[in-house]
Amino acid sequence: MGFLVPVTMMLVLGGSLGLVLGFAAQAFHVEVDERLAKVTGMLPGLNCGSCGFTGCAGLAQALVEGKVAKVGACRPCKPDIRAQIADYLNENAPEGAAKVTAD
Amino acid sequence: MNLITLFLSALLINNVVLNQFLGICPFLGVSRNKSSAIGMSFAVMFVILGSSILTYFLYHFVLVPLKLEFMDLITFILVVACFVQFVEMYLKKMLPSLYRSLGIYLPLITTNCVVLYVCLGNISANYNFIEMLVYSIAVPLGFALILIIFSNIRERMENAKIPAPLRGNPAALIIAAMMALAFSGLAGLV
C-alpha cells in the first residue's frame, strides 16, 4: 500500500492549488467580447505569427475590434474557413461597422 | 561574501541563457521590441521567485517528512503551472496592454525551463533559505539582463543592412553566439 501516501499527497496538492486558481479566476474576472472566443476558435490555432500579431488571439482581437478588415491576414487559414469567419463577423457586427472580407 | 559570489556567478558567469542554454524560446520570441522584453523579464522574475519559494517550502515541509523526495519534479511542475496561470489572470485584469504584447509567450512561461531549473537547482544544491532567495533572484536577473540587451540590439538591427538569407532569426542567433562569447570573458571574475 506504499502508493497511498504519494497519491493522497498529489490529490491534496492538486485540489488546493485548483481551489486557489478558482478563487483567483473569480477575483480577476474580466468581461470579454463573446465574439473573441468564437473567432479565436475558428482560426487555425497555429500561433505562427505570420499575421504580425502575437498568436491567433491577437489577430482575433484585431478582427473583432475592426482594426483588421481582411481575414486573409491569416495565411495558413483555409478559404472556406476564412469565408465562415467573415460571415460570422459581418452578421454579429455592431451597427455601422465596416464589412470584413474573406480575402 | 559567499552570497555575493553566489549572486555574481548565477547572474553573469553561469548565465542561464548564454551559458546553460535555457529559456531560448522566449529569448528569441519576445526580444523583437524593448517593452515586451522588459514585461517578459518582470513576469519571469516574479514567477521564478514565487514558485521557488513555494517549492522550497513544499519540499522541506511536505515531501521530506513524507519521504517523497523522488516526487520533486512532478509536484514542482504542478506548482509552476498553477503559478503561471495565476500571473496570467492577474495581468489580464491589471495590465491588459502587457498581457496583449506578451501574447502566447505568457502561458509558455510554464514551459520556460529556467523556472524548473531554479526550483530543482535550489533543492539539489542544498541551499538554505537565504541562499535560495539570492539564487532565485540572481538567475532571473541574468535572464532579464540578457533579454533586454538582446532586444536593444535587435531593435537596432532593424535598420542594419543584413544579407537577405540571414534576416530575422538567423542573424539573431549569430548575435546570441557573439554575446555568449563576450560573456564567457567574465568567467574569471569570481
Statement: residue A95 has pLDDT above 80: no
In a domain, B58, yes or no: yes
Q: Do A28 and B89 touch (CB under 8 A)?
A: yes
**ipTM value for the complex:** 0.70
Is residue B42 assigned to a domain? Answer: yes
Looking at residue A70, its pLDDT comes to 87
pLDDT tens-digit profile, chain B (190 residues): 689 999 998 888 888 888 888 888 888 888 887 888 888 888 888 889 999 999 999 999 988 888 888 888 999 999 999 988 888 888 888 888 878 777 777 887 877 888 999 999 999 999 999 999 999 999 999 999 999 999 999 989 888 888 988 888 889 899 999 999 998 888 877 7
* A25 contact B CB<8A: yes
- The tens digit of pLDDT for each residue in A47-77 reads 887 887 878 888 888 888 888 888 888 888 8
> What does the pLDDT read at residue B1?
66
Residue range A34-91, CATH number: 1.10.15.40
What does the pLDDT read at residue B52? 93
Q: Grid coordinates in use for B163? A: 544579407
Burial of B157 (0-12, 13-18, 19+ CB in 10 A): middle
pTM across the whole model: 0.76
Residue B71 covered by a domain = yes
Residue B17 lies in a domain: no
* Residue A102 reports pLDDT greater than 80: no
B103, A28: Cβ pair inside 8 Å?
no
- Please report the residues numbered 52 through 111 in chain B whose beta carbons come closer than 8 angstroms to any beta carbon of chain A: 58, 62-63, 66, 68, 71, 74-75, 78-79, 82, 85-86, 89-90, 92-94, 96, 100-105
In chain B, what percentage of residues exceed pLDDT 90? 34
Contact B90 A24 (CB under 8 A): yes
State the CB neighbour count (10 A cutoff) for residue A22: 10
What does the pLDDT read at residue B181? 92
Q: Inter-chain contact A10–B71, Cβ cutoff 8 Å?
A: yes
Residue B18 lies in a domain: no
Name the domain count of chain B. Answer: 1
pLDDT tens-digit readout, B156-172: 988 888 898 888 888 98
Q: What is the per-residue pLDDT for B23?
A: 85
Question: CA B15 to CA B21: how far, in whole Å?
Answer: 9
Buried b (16+ CB within 10 A) or exposed e, B23-46: beebbbbbbbeeebbbbbbebbbb
3-state secondary structure chain B: CHHHHHHHHHHHHCCCCCCCCCCHHHHHHCCCCHHHHHHHHHHHHHHHHHHHHHHHHHHHHHHCCCCCHHHHHHHHHHHHHHHHHHHHHHHHHHCHHHHHHHHHHCHHHHHCHHHHHHHHHHHHCCCCHHHHHHHHHHHHHHHHHHHHHHHHHHHHHCCCCCCHHHCCHHHHHHHHHHHHHHHHHHHHCC
Tell me, what's the pLDDT at B30?
81
Mean pLDDT of A27-44: 85
CB A23 within 8 A of CB A15: no
Which residue segment(s) compose the domain that B69 sits in?
Answer: 23-188
